[in-house]
A = this chain, B = another copy of it.
Amino acid sequence: VGEMRELAIRARRAARVLASTPRETKDAALRLMAERLRRSADDLLRANAVDMSNARELSSAMRDRLALTHERIERMAEGLEQIAALADPVGEVLRETTRPNGMRIRKVRVPIGVIAIVYESRPNVTADSAGLCLKSGNACILRGGHEAIESNLAIGHALSSALRDAGLPAEAIQVVATTDRAAVGELLTLEGLVDLVIPRGGKGLVRRVVEESTIPVIKHYEGICHVYVDRAADMDMAERIVVNAKVQRPATCNAMETLLVHEAIAQEFLPRIARVLREKGVELRGCEHARRLVPWILPATEQDYRTEWLDLKMSVRVVPDIEAAIDHIERYGSRHSDAIVTRDEAASRRFLEAVDSACVFHNVSTRLSDGFEFGMGAEIGISTDKLHARGPMGLEELTSYKYVITGDGQLRR
């Protein structure tokens, strides 16, 4: 330890260079990084094989997330090329005014500086995060899970060497080489050197970062997402949305975890949707009312309503009205993404206003809560915080701003 400080000092120096690097240089570096990943495929696969052989006791799902293949390396490389093609957020003038005393104020988008990203197993996060930080002019410190350490170091090595060849400081992208947990603790208190920490991963990881950090954190917490099927719902649409939100990719943070159904249509809708979900292999846990209508639904506990299943499991509850649905979401949700299905404009307005979540949907699947679907062209994750960035975070959300004021001798009176 002490090591993290040295690393952060190097990152800070690199960040000063990146802040005034023109777009062309950054894009050329991104393309070189992509090419370098492809050319280093054998090295990456060899490093990954070491991680995989050390990870024999992990679940097969975990091992699948950890594994690199030629196809996954190609996808990382393409991701970097896509980032190169996006507009540069840095330098954009967000607002411009001239004050009565003649001074001109411009609010200009600038990089944040040094960003630390703390994440779990998937090695592709290393390349994605590095690319997004570089494009937005930030230096990054990447700390992945210990089980992916060899893969991450090999990816980091390829990316840094590409940076150097592009004429940029290699230290703009640094993968933390130690798996010592104390290193993260040190990183999280390097105020003045590290400007932002983004934890991406499970609840335990995010909690630990929040508790230890004296640096600003943007949390990517769990997504306990709801679909509320209103009394005035189009039932065919409701069925399609519920199935999509639960089944299309259940392990993602924007998948539905709890279905709320207005009691006026529960008798018709609930047996119907339960049958379809059961055919798709979904296990349901529900309230008493739901279980009267569909006896095979398991009883739900309080804790079930607070659970991010990330699996073919879900909770279901019958509610007396829209206000009860809103209250349920306020109480049990994680303010991520929640949807109403209804043909009633007044109900939709009420829901969209009252539900305090990053993304609120009317007649749209919660699975569409995503940076790419939103047209951001990239996504570093989905923030469940309300400060700085909320919901899908793209390149703009990786920037800050400064005020540039010019005049001819203006004084305070």
Query: Which residues of A are in contact with B by a Cβ distance under 8 Å?
Result: 16, 19-20, 97, 99, 103, 105, 110, 112-113, 191, 195-196, 210-211, 214, 216-218, 234, 237, 240-241, 244, 248-249, 330, 348, 352-354, 356-365, 367-370, 373-375, 385-388, 390-392, 400-412
Within 8 Å by CB of A402, from B19, B330, B358, lies B358
Asked if residues B375 and A412 are in contact (CB atoms below 8 Å), the reply is: no
Quick one: which of A191, A218, A390 has the most chain B CB within 10 A?
A390
Number of copies of this chain in the oligomer? Answer: 2
Contact of A400 among B234, B387, B401 (CB under 8 A): B387
**B residues within 8 A CB of A406?**
348, 352, 361-364
A110 to B359, CA, bound (A): 12
CB pair A113–B386 under 8 Å, yes or no, is: yes
A413 CB to closest chain B CB (Å) equals 8
A374, B403: Cα distance in complex, Å: 10
Whether A358 pairs with B195 at a CB distance below 8 angstroms is no
- Counting from the closest, the 4 A-B pairs by CB-CB distance are A367-B412, A364-B407, A388-B388, A244-B411
> Is A411 in contact with B20, judged by CB distance below 8 angstroms?
no
Hey, which chain B residues are within 8 Å of A410, CB to CB?
363-365, 368
Given A214-B211, A368-B405, A400 and B411 touching (CB < 8 A)?
no
The distance from the CB of A44 to the nearest CB of chain B, in whole angstroms, is 30
Contact indicator B354/A385 (Cβ below 8 Å): no
